[in-house]
Each structure stands twice: as C-alpha cells, then as structure tokens.
C-alpha cells in the first residue's frame, strides 16, 4: 500500500466492518448530519439547554465508539502497540464523542415539542 486513497480507506473499512454494516453506518451518519443541518436552519440558533445535554453524552459516545471498534476488530486494550495506536484510539473516541453530541442534539430538537412563548 504505497498511496493512501479514498478507495483504499473504503476497502479497509468494508473489510473491518463488512460491506453492509459499513454502508449502513455511512447512511446513518449522512441522515444525522442532514437532520442536524435542518434543525440549525429551522431554528436559526443553537438551543443552549439541549446543547448542554448533548455535551453530557459525549463521554458515553466516546466509550461506545472505542468499544464498538474493538469488538469489530476483535482487539483488546493490551493490543495497543505504540503511539500511532493511541492516536488512532483517541481519534475514534473523539469522533464518537462528537457524533453522539450531534445525534443527541438533533434528536432533542426534532422530537421535543418547543414551548410557545408566554403571552402577558
């Protein structure tokens, strides 16, 4: 593997996760991202309370992402071999944290009915 191309990365991810699961994860990521953009455009601002709740779910998302990748690759923490493995591990955790925050925020804004302002 001389060059790191998009086709190579797709092939590696399809090998790790399986073709169906990989493309299902891509579709889910696209749907959540589109939902998040819809909410941002619709509301024209961030709901700070929902954003705080979403941030509280970030550690859960990080742990679940690392656990999921370790389960799919049949690895253990003892298999970490060097600095590159730790960097990849931290990258997976960061993507899981951000993804869970976006998912929770989007779900909150789409599913929870907004209250009408009180009229005096």
- pLDDT (tens digit per residue) in 38-69: 999 998 888 888 899 999 999 999 999 999 98
E strands in the chain: none
Is 115's pLDDT higher than 70? Answer: no
Instruction: For residues 61 and 78, give the distance between their C-alpha atoms in angstroms, rounded to a whole number.
Output: 22
Q: How confident is the model at residue 16 (pLDDT cuts 50, 70, 90)?
A: confident
Looking at residue 77, what is its pLDDT? Answer: 81
Residues with Cβ within 8 Å of 72's Cβ and at least 6 positions away in sequence, in order, are 16, 17
Q: What is the mean pLDDT of residues 1-30?
A: 89
């Amino acid at each position: 593997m001389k060059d790191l191309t998009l086709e190579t990365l797709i092939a590696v991810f399809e090998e790790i996760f399986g073709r169906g699961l990989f493309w299902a994860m891509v579709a889910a990521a696209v749907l959540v991202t589109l939902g998040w953009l819809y909410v941002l455009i619709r509301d024209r601002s961030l709901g700070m309370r929902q954003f705080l709740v979403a941030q509280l779910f970030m550690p859960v998302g990080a742990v679940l992402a690392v656990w999921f990748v370790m389960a799919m690759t049949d690895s253990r923490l003892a298999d970490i071999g060097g600095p590159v493995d730790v960097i990849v591990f931290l990258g997976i955790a960061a993507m899981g944290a951000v993804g869970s925050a976006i998912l929770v925020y989007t779900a909150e804004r789409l599913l929870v009915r907004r209250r009408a302002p009180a009229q005096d």
